[in-house]
Structure 1
């Protein structure tokens, strides 16, 4: 259960305007009252000003489609992969982000199974799904104000390939597991030999212990004595894993389960799994906070988001953890760095995911372009945590001061000061 942050008061914004002396003064229109709701309540994201499904979009997939429509970009077609490789290149998604999922918990359940898994590729803002034998590719791109937008792209060769909006995804991607907004999902379900779910968890994040993650997924990489549910399918293997939790763990190859020549590479990298688990729930929290602000609603989502961005409830790791591709290196190289070479994308992978525990999601469009009042409150509370005396952490934040030392908090302050655009005036670093 996510722990609440104790926050005192709300920011009050005052506006003034100059008027000519001869002009009559007009009483300002009173602000619309904020309606308090529960974090689990649905919100009317179809209404103005969000108007999900309407208007222009600024997500990565939409921008690529606009280039295709204007014929300023062309996608190359390959007989085996269709448009897959060129789409990944156009969206700046690394092929090493590839993750294989064989549970029938997504589109194309008829052809998805342990011998023919679906693959997911992703970067900080957009997700691509592809299945050998499917007629369409799937896309989920995060729009800064409207949430996750879903698209499909036909696999067959075309003179004018185009992204088509898909609303059918909301049947799953608009429920409780995605925080009642058009969001993203990572699930963990043990399956039978055909990939049919047996039991598991509908919402995975970095707060979930590793032993509960990755059911229905292939996982390549090493993780010492830690265990997980990846690579397990059929009831016999699941039963054996009850007495041998390390069954099919620490695998560097999965060729014994699937013909990996059907895919761009033979990996389902453990480090990429860890990033997906963190990123998806973080995107959903950001979207929910943004929509509540736009719609005049208020739950405790901002407090939850602050805790999540700071990894305050992260499940501990007992590493070392290591993947099987260059994903870790490419991910770190994409991070913004301060004058001392430090980045929020620097991994730890020993006892925690990152060396500096403030999420890189603060650099994404979905966070940068969220309503300014909400963004300001969130940054103010992150700043309050990073600058709080150690004695205040335990009673106010329910955090052991020794578990989040002042040296790490100071490093985060400096990194953000030097790398994040449009910082509020209160964000300062004492020399």
Structure 2
């Protein structure tokens, strides 16, 4: 079987992370990484264990096969459905504007479903390895089994994923058959992307006022591959004119879900990159120290710079620096925003990092919910300690540099208060620090 060329269409390198895109050269077999080693730490592997023990059961039901029960067992909401019709997957022969590929997600898992396909595509975030890729045969022939596919790394471990096993989302100019017209350009998408450059090759439902995006639109003249009718694709509440979605779990592709997906995909890649960078740097430093008879914990300045430099990019990403502001409010047309917020940790004032704003920015409190994920909790101690220290400096107002100017005093105070009450890994230094705002 060929590589799963993309679980969703190819993802962006966050503007501040772009310098990392081509600089990770160590093989995944490095002793500090050991990507190919089989582990059972990601949600899909854990589900397989539950199935094998008889603790979980997947039901095969037409027309979606195992899809709905997989979503149920992995706690992935149907309302997260996004629809990509550009031919950017290994299943491109089955994907078209009339038969888009559905992608569903939660904080740690992505599930791809293609109409009439014989497999489900899955990607899960392992806290140490990053993205791990699977398929599930869509045949009711006994106990279902998820099959891991490391060959997916041909596309899913590249400069586009910050050089580590990760996830891909991009915006393209598609023709009426779904083929990207790459001579017209393509845009990597995350929370820093201008609204006008988002969603090309995707269907999008919801309202966004006079703002325009690239979704729900096609290149009509291949001699003008960057020309699309943005007005015609705007503010769509139904997709009936584009495709028959009667076999899909939902007839919508909520714009809010798209925006969260774009943010978290690059965030996952960056967490993995910080983890890899720190583990490899420490391993190499210890090897040098052994050879020279030095204490193992004696670090060079270059080792510190390597770890802290990458970790600083993560700090900026978590605090949403560089986010493209919304000129007008955005509203989805499904229960996604409500369900997403319901899954957030809340403080004593009922505030959560999963509360969406969608008026001028993505989150009401501009700090990524990815700070609660296992990938963050399992960052190597040198990197995690640095990130925690820098976050505290910014949130208490000790660091008021221009990079964090988008954070108001009210933002900093609210985020600090929320994290103090909701983080299970709260450093002691956070408990006593003055808010400073």
TM-score by length of 1: 0.87
Say yes or no: does 1:112 pair with 2:95: yes
- Equivalent positions of 1:52-201 (< 5 A) are 52-199=35-182, 200-201=185-186
Matches for 1:409-424 after TM superposition, within 5 Å = 409-424=412-427
Give the paired residue count: 393
Deviation at 1:168, TM superposition (A): 2.3
Higher helix share goes to which structure?
A: 2
Q: Does 1:315 align with 2:324?
A: yes
1:196-253 CA-partner distances (Å, limit 9, x unpaired):
1113435211111111111100000001111110011242499699585423100000
SS in 1 for 2:131: strand
Question: Judging changes above 3 Å, is the alpha-carbon distance between structure 1 residues 240 and 189 closer, same or farther for their aligned structure 2 residues?
Answer: closer
Measured in 2, the distance between the counterparts of 1:237 and 1:340 equals 54
Aligned partners of 1:313, 1:427: CA distance in 2, in Å?
A: 25
> Structure 1 residues 90 and 295, CA, compared in 2 at 3 Å: closer, same or farther?
same
The verdict on how the C-alpha distance between 1:151 and 1:244 changes in structure 2, with shifts beyond 3 A counting, is: closer
- In 2, are the aligned partners of 1:271 and 1:322 still within 8 Å (CA)? yes
- Show the counterpart of 1:222: 207
Contact kept, 8 Å, 1:45 with 1:291, in 2: the verdict is no
Give the whole-Å Cα distance in 1 for the aligned partners of 2:167 and 2:112. 12
| TM-score, scaled relative to structure 2 | 0.86
Alpha-carbon distance in 2 for matches of 1:257, 1:218: 9
Q: Check whether the contact 1:39–1:301 (CA below 8 A) recurs between aligned residues.
A: no
Please show how residues 321-400 of structure 1 align to structure 2 within 5 Å: 321-389=330-398, 393=400, 396-400=401-405
Which of 405, 419, 423 is the matching residue for 2:408?
A: 405
Residue pair 2:127, 2:378 contacting (<8 A) in 1 also: yes
Aligned to 1:285: 270
Q: Show CA shifts across 1:376-429 (max 9, x none).
A: 21111111111125xx52xx34343xx421111011100000000121121135
Deviations 1:351-374 (A, max 9, x none): 111111110000111111222221
Report the CA distance between 1:160 and its aligned residue.
Answer: 1.2
Give, in whole Å, the separation in 2 of the partners of 1:377 and 1:145: 18
Cα distance in structure 1, aligned partners of 2:207 and 2:273: 35
3-state SS, counterpart of residue 41 of structure 2: coil
C-alpha deviation, 1:265, in angstroms = 1.0
* Paired residues of 2:187 and 2:197 also in contact (CA < 8 A): no
Alpha-carbon distance in structure 1 between the residues aligned to 2:128 and 2:35: 9
CA contact (8 A) 1:189 1:201 kept: yes
Flag the structure with larger Rg: 1
CA separation in 2, counterparts of 1:418 and 1:53?
A: 37
Gap regions ≥5 residues in structure 1: 5-36
Q: Deviations over 1:68-104 (max 9, x none)?
A: 2222221111021100000000000000000000111
Could you say what secondary structure the match of 1:278 adopts? helix
C-alpha contact (below 8 Å) 2:121/2:135 kept by paired residues: yes
The answer to whether residue 280 in structure 2 is matched with residue 295 in structure 1 is: yes
Distance 1:153 1:276 in 2: 22
| Cross-structure match for 1:8 | none
Deviations 1:314-366 (A, max 9, x none): 01112211011000000111111111111111111111111111100001111
